[in-house]
């Protein structure tokens, strides 16, 4: 007998009247007892509480609008990916332990104690399915900075030993070796020698004094080394006094992404100290979104006082150079669309810098439908790209990007974040997509007009 309804064929195999229980997938580090893990997580979460974070914890009206801003929810329509839900155990703990009516909640047991089972279950929500892109804040009628709260919750999860193991291992390696991808000072030196030789470009390493300290992302060093060549071409063309320092070159900060404040501090302090050691007046951050957030907005707070140098993302540095006519670019007769790295644009405030550079390239910029401060995340930020069990979910979210970009019909796809770039490369391979992500920095280096002025 054939189905009479071919659109919705009769399913005779699946279990009836049953609720599909999702598989809870979590990792644990260390051998703490369950109760200890919960206590540590909650203590850590509330330890760094300020009046701003308390205001956020008090304010949610459960309207659910944040779901519509989250690529993981929109791609799956699974309510558990609603951004504010990702904080539920921490909201519960705050109300019970730290809020103004905590005594009432405890006395009447209106909010139960958080259990380790909850935290295990929430590991996926706090790490695998949140890139801390902050798009949800833009829709929240109460203006709650959910991404910032997820960052705080990650501190608690790390201290409790409840981090996805791949992310933990990458962060631990960064702490131990100085790089999450094995880009040790020795590897860096070899790479620079090789690049300088192959591309016939001078790449100053470990100069005692320099006006500009250039930092790199491990992803660039190991996967996109041509970015280093591009940096060198531009800085040399400018005649800048610049250097890369082997004692402080790694700008990616997996300590921050995994939730370990100490590791975050160590990574940031290395580059801060290197900049001070060489007397740099400007520290240039590479094409990396979270590196910008880590140093531009959090670096001084980890240092404990204002930084004695200026911190610029490479796109800001290029925008300044273009604005002041220090560099001229050959026109690129193409159409281009630009993917905003969330931590540089929406959460970093440098949305216009890349566009200034793009204008100087003379391309026709075709903005995506939701762009700039409202851009959809690539899905790989916040350490998500390092968590392989999240690949399927990340790929689903990536389909939003594919649609957005294809709709522009632009010939070139460009961004200014190596982490976005590797997420795009992975998405391109997975979907056999015909678009390749380009680096804004490398495009500028390729289009650099090196003719003497007036010719």
Give the footprint of other proteins on this chain (CB under 8 A): 49-56, 58-65, 67-69, 73, 77, 79-80, 82, 84-85, 99-101, 104, 110, 137-145, 296-301, 303-307, 310-311, 345-351, 369-370, 373-374
Find the shortest distance in angstroms from Cβ 294 to other proteins. 11
CA–CA gap between residue 361 and residue 444 (Å, rounded) = 7
- What sign results for the dihedral spanned by CA atoms 194, 197, 199, 203? positive
Q: Are 87 and 95 in contact (CB under 8 A)?
A: no
Find the shortest distance in angstroms from Cβ 323 to other proteins. 16
Q: Nearer Cβ to other proteins, position 147 or 228?
A: 147
Find the shortest distance in angstroms from Cβ 174 to other proteins. 22
Find the shortest distance in angstroms from Cβ 118 to other proteins. 14
Find the shortest distance in angstroms from Cβ 232 to other proteins. 27
CA–CA gap between residue 213 and residue 231 (Å, rounded) = 12
Closest C-alpha to 133, from 57, 61, 81, 92: 81
Phi, psi of 302 (to 5 degrees): -75, -30
Phi, psi of 245 (to 5 degrees): -115, 130
Q: Nearer Cβ to other proteins, position 311 or 322?
A: 311
**What does each C-alpha distance from 273 to 128, 220, 249, 267, 307 come to in angstroms?**
33, 22, 11, 10, 10
Q: Nearer Cβ to other proteins, position 24 or 138?
A: 138
Q: Is 113 helix (H, G, I), strand (E, B) or coil?
A: coil
CA–CA gap between residue 201 and residue 306 (Å, rounded) = 35
CA–CA gap between residue 365 and residue 359 (Å, rounded) = 8
Q: Nearer Cβ to other proteins, position 85 or 168?
A: 85
- In this structure, are strands 242-243 and 282-285 parallel, antiparallel, or unpaired? unpaired
Q: Are 358 and 322 in contact (CB under 8 A)?
A: no
Find the shortest distance in angstroms from Cβ 251 to other proteins. 16
Find the shortest distance in angstroms from Cβ 20 to other proteins. 14
Q: Are 213 and 242 in contact (CB under 8 A)?
A: yes
Q: Nearer Cβ to other proteins, position 320 or 373?
A: 373
Closest C-alpha to 259, from 82, 10, 48: 48
Q: Nearer Cβ to other proteins, position 69 or 174?
A: 69
CA–CA gap between residue 228 and residue 364 (Å, rounded) = 27
Q: Nearer Cβ to other proteins, position 185 or 348?
A: 348
Find the shortest distance in angstroms from Cβ 191 to other proteins. 31
Find the shortest distance in angstroms from Cβ 172 to other proteins. 27
Helix, strand, coil abundance in the chain, percent, nearest 5: 55, 5, 40
Q: Nearer Cβ to other proteins, position 100 or 239?
A: 100
Find the shortest distance in angstroms from Cβ 418 to other proteins. 21
Q: Nearer Cβ to other proteins, position 49 or 431?
A: 49
Which element (helix H / strand E) includes 277? helix 261-277
Q: Is 353 helix (H, G, I), strand (E, B) or coil?
A: helix
Distance separating the N- and C-terminal Cα atoms of the chain: 81
Q: Nearer Cβ to other proteins, position 58 or 177?
A: 58
């Amino acid at each position: 007998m054939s189905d009479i309804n071919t659109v919705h064929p009769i399913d005779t195999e699946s279990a009836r009247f049953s609720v599909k229980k999702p598989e809870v997938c979590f990792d644990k580090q260390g051998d703490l007892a369950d109760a200890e893990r919960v206590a540590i997580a909650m203590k850590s979460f509330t330890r760094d509480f300020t009046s701003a974070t308390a205001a956020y914890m008090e304010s949610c009206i459960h309207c659910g609008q944040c779901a519509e801003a989250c690529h993981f929810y929109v791609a799956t329509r699974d309510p558990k990916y609603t951004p504010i839900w990702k904080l539920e155990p921490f909201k519960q703990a705050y109300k019970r332990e730290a809020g103004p009516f905590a005594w009432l909640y405890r006395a009447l047991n209106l909010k139960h104690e958080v259990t380790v089972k909850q935290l295990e279950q929430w590991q996926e929500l706090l790490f695998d399915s949140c890139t801390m892109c902050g798009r949800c804040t833009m829709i929240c009628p109460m203006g709650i900075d959910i991404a910032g709260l997820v960052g705080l919750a990650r501190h608690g999860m790390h201290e409790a030993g409840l981090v996805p193991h791949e992310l933990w291992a990458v962060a631990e390696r960064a702490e131990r070796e100085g790089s999450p991808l094995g880009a040790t000072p020795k590897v860096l030196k070899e790479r620079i020698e090789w690049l300088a030789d192959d591309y016939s470009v001078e790449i100053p390493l470990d100069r005692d004094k320099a006006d500009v300290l250039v930092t790199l992302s491990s992803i660039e060093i190991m996967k996109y080394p041509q970015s280093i060549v591009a940096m060198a071409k531009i800085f040399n063309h400018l005649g800048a006094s610049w250097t890369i320092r082997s004692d402080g070159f790694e700008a990616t900060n997996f300590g921050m992404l995994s939730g370990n404040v100490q590791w975050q501090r160590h990574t940031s302090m290395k580059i801060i100290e290197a900049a001070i050691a060489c007397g740099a007046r400007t520290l240039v951050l590479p094409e990396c979104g979270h590196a910008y957030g880590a140093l531009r907005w959090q670096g001084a707070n980890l240092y404990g006082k204002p930084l004695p140098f200026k911190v610029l993302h490479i796109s800001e540095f290029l925008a300044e150079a273009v604005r002041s006519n220090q560099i001229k670019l050959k026109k690129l007769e193409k159409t281009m669309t630009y993917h905003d790295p969330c931590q540089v644009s929406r959460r970093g405030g440098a949305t216009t810098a890349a566009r200034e550079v793009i204008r100087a390239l003379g391309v026709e910029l075709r903005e995506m439908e939701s762009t700039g401060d409202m851009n959809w995340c690539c899905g790989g930020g916040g350490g998500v790209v390092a968590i392989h069990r999240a690949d399927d979910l990340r790929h689903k979210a990536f389909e939003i990007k594919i649609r957005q970009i294809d709709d522009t019909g632009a010939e070139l796809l460009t961004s200014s974040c190596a982490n976005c770039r590797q997420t795009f490369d992975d998405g391109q391979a997975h979907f056999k997509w015909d678009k390749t992500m380009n680096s804004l920095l490398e495009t500028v280096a390729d289009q650099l007009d090196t003719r003497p002025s007036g010719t």
